[in-house]
Structure 1
Amino acid sequence: MAADRRALVAFVVAGVLFGGTFVAAKAGLAYFPPLLFVALRFDVAAVALIAYAAVTTPRDQLLPSTWRDAAGILATGVLAIGLTNALLFVGQGYTSSAVAAIVFSLNPILTPVFAALLLADEQLSRRGVAGMALGFLGVALVVNPDPATLFDPGVGKAILLGGAITGAIGSVLIRWAGGSLSSTARTAWGLPFAAGLSHLLSWWTGESVDAVVWHPEAFLALAYVGLLAGAVAYIAYFGLLDTAGAIRANLVFYAVPVVAALGGWALLGELVSTLAVGGFVTIFAGFAVIGSESVDVRRRLRALRGRFPAVTDESDGSTTDAMDGPCGIEAD
């Protein structure tokens, strides 16, 4: 139960902080070139998380010692964090936030595909497929994109799809690699790789530090995506990845549009439509369907039946369980 509570807290923290990234990124992109913004975000997150890991992790558990540790670090820094966020920030510049949320929400759907190829212990059941479908439908209702814009092919959607794919592959490869490092230590080692890759891509595309406008709002946006949606959210998300698995951990990305919509309503005065409320309920229903996989329904019904006394029919002396009958539940 304690582990379940910790996983729930990690899910909520990651979902809330990642959800705020869309608002902060939209604000920050007015002052930073996109790839440089990502690179500076990882610089800030790396410094904060390395300092945190150095203080909280024993020295003998901080250094990588096997090829699996190295593989997990590279999967974290290059794929799950670096390329995923670089493609997300660049792709957002070519399309609307609503379309970006829809395309990026393909991540939880793509994850089981790669997990089926690499992870023997993570296979999606039919109930899981139904829950995933409900979650994706709920995301579509929340963001409610213009169908003409959504289905119009374009470079932005291709870039965002690439980000969703690299994120899914990265999370599965982290689980596949295993290793002895804690999620915090592995992420602390991975962030400098993400920062270096983003700086390289920024330089390669011709971005310049001279293009940055150092406005107070720029500092606030960078602090949020670097410290909160960076260091803190990564501790929660990658910890959840280790305990809950890639498929369940990536359900966080279904919660992100909900948080973004509620944040826009609370902080920016944006309206939340009736359709969006229906989307919230649909996403919750998807989570409930997936979560119900851990519940033994038949055992619960048998336990419930045991609480009701047998009823004797005085007309023929037969005995019937109080749960049976038109309003009850038949025995197995």
Structure 2
Amino acid sequence: MIARRTLALFALSSVFFGGTFVAAKAGLEYFPPLLFVAFRFDIAAVITAAYAAIRFSRTDLTPRTAGDVVGILATGGLVIGLANSLLFVGQQYATSAVGAIVFSLNPILTPVFAAVFLSNERLSPRGAVGMVLGLLGVALVVSPDPSMLVGGDALGRAILFAGAASAALGAVLIRRVDATLSSTVRIAWGLPLAAALSHAFALASGESTAAIAWSSEAILALGYVSVFAGVLAYLAYFALLDETGAIRANLVFYVVPVVSTLGGWALLDERVAPLAIVGFLTIFAGFAILGSESIDVRSRLPSAAALLEDVRSDRDARCAEDRSSVADESKGYRSD
């Protein structure tokens, strides 16, 4: 049952986050990037706060420890607010392919921060191989021109890298602190912080609401990134973070480019290159290697050896019994 719940949370996080890039690409035709992010978090904050007020008591909603406060700051400030703001700003200076690869460094950066801040989360050599395969698969999926990764605007790549580092560091800090608040309550507190941070960035960059072109398509895009990629995706992701840890939870960012590529193909008529199929299989192979760590063959060897020993002992006992019965026969009637 725990495995099914974990798989469901992973799938929901991957699908909803992956759809963000498809909706964002459509919505950025109508919204300035930072205001788009800010409005997204405004709506998500209202919905999550209403849900939390109905679902939890006042005691459950009240931060009681320093760990609760740090968890809220890491959730709203690092994982949601700063990471998304840097992602949208950096995307202005880089292609979506470069952005996908740079931001997919998140699972690689997470073990680095975990090695510093967490004593119970370490990446094994087998896990490192799986991580590298996953990153290679992401590169094959988005199929960038190598010249784009080497040349181009270094500022855009630096901003995107800072966004990935912010998300990875925030996830590790959430795991480190001894918080008493549930993940849903942390999100309810963190989303207003993320919205305020995004509005501050939008104001500092000179974005104005006058630049918004309201339309049905704009409302649909805003609705998706607010409700599905905002409320539902973060509820699933942070619950997954609490269950599996920062290293495994952040593997969703390897699946996100796969979902966004398939979503762009299905909804925006974008072409899927044959090399992307190889990338899908490479990511799957990386996950298979990571998942195999949960199967410790050596732990099963003693039980197998014990079974063989039982069979051997039973056979020796039967042989001894046969020899004893033969020895007990009368001399005149011993069989040949």
Q: CA deviation at 1:302?
A: 6.0
Map of 1:76 onto structure 2: 75
Residues 94 and 152 in structure 2, CA contact (< 8 A), matched pair in contact too: no
Q: 1:267-282 residue pairs with structure 2 within 5 A? A: 267-282=267-282
1:289-328 per-position Cα deviation (integer Å, ceiling 9, x unaligned): 1111111112446667859x989xxxxxxxxxxxxxxxxx
Q: Match of 1:164, as an amino acid? A: A
Q: CA deviation at 1:195?
A: 0.3
Q: Distance in 2 between matches of 1:276 and 1:74?
A: 37
Q: Distance in 2 between matches of 1:191 and 1:203?
A: 18
Q: Distance in 1 between matches of 2:220 and 2:64?
A: 38
Q: Distance in 2 between matches of 1:263 and 1:271?
A: 11
1:116-160 per-position Cα deviation (integer Å, ceiling 9, x unaligned): 000111111111101100100110111110100121152211111
Map of 1:319 onto structure 2: none
Q: Match of 2:21, as an amino acid? A: F
Q: CA deviation at 1:28?
A: 1.1
Q: 1:203-282 residue pairs with structure 2 within 5 A? A: 203-282=203-282
Map of 1:36 onto structure 2: 35
Q: 1:69-108 residue pairs with structure 2 within 5 A? A: 69-108=68-107
Q: CA deviation at 1:269?
A: 2.7
Map of 2:315 onto structure 1: none
More helix by share: 2
Q: Distance in 1 between matches of 2:236 and 2:301?
A: 35
Look up the SS of the partner of 2:151 in the other structure.
Answer: coil
Q: CA deviation at 1:205?
A: 1.2
Map of 2:198 onto structure 1: 198
Question: Which segment is superposed worse, 23-32 or 222-231?
Answer: 23-32
Q: 1:139-178 residue pairs with structure 2 within 5 A? A: 139-154=138-153, 155-178=155-178
Q: Match of 1:195, as an amino acid? A: A
Look up the SS of the partner of 2:180 in the other structure.
Answer: coil
Gaps of 5+ in 1: 312-332
Map of 2:62 onto structure 1: 63
- Aligned Cα root-mean-square deviation (Å): 1.8
Map of 1:11 onto structure 2: 10
Q: Distance in 1 between matches of 2:210 and 2:124?
A: 52
Map of 1:111 onto structure 2: 110
> TM-score under structure 2 normalisation?
0.88
Q: CA deviation at 1:272?
A: 2.1
Q: CA deviation at 1:260?
A: 0.8
Look up the SS of the partner of 1:14 in the other structure.
Answer: helix
Q: Match of 2:249, as an amino acid? A: A
Map of 2:20 onto structure 1: 21
Question: Which segment is superposed worse, 135-144 or 267-276?
Answer: 267-276
Show structure 1 runs of 4+ deviating over 3 A.
299-307
Q: Distance in 2 between matches of 1:21 and 1:300?
A: 43
Q: Match of 1:218, as an amino acid? A: A
Q: Distance in 2 between matches of 1:281 and 1:35?
A: 35
1:185-234 per-position Cα deviation (integer Å, ceiling 9, x unaligned): 00110000000011111111111111111111111111011100000000
Residues 141 and 258 in structure 2, CA contact (< 8 A), matched pair in contact too: yes
Map of 1:127 onto structure 2: 126
Map of 1:296 onto structure 2: 296
Label 1:274 to 1:304 Cα distance change in 2 as closer, same or farther (>3 A): farther
Label 1:264 to 1:59 Cα distance change in 2 as closer, same or farther (>3 A): same
Q: Distance in 2 between matches of 1:298 and 1:221?
A: 50
Gaps of 5+ in 2: 313-336
Label 1:301 to 1:272 Cα distance change in 2 as closer, same or farther (>3 A): farther
Q: Distance in 2 between matches of 1:128 and 1:117?
A: 18
Look up the SS of the partner of 2:133 in the other structure.
Answer: helix
Q: Match of 2:19, as an amino acid? A: G
Q: CA deviation at 1:107?
A: 0.5
Q: Match of 2:286, as an amino acid? A: G
Look up the SS of the partner of 1:55 in the other structure.
Answer: helix
Q: CA deviation at 1:113?
A: 0.4
Q: Distance in 1 between matches of 2:169 and 2:31?
A: 28
Q: Distance in 2 between matches of 1:38 and 1:270?
A: 24
Residues 102 and 157 in structure 2, CA contact (< 8 A), matched pair in contact too: yes
Q: Match of 2:57, as an amino acid? A: P
Look up the SS of the partner of 1:123 in the other structure.
Answer: coil
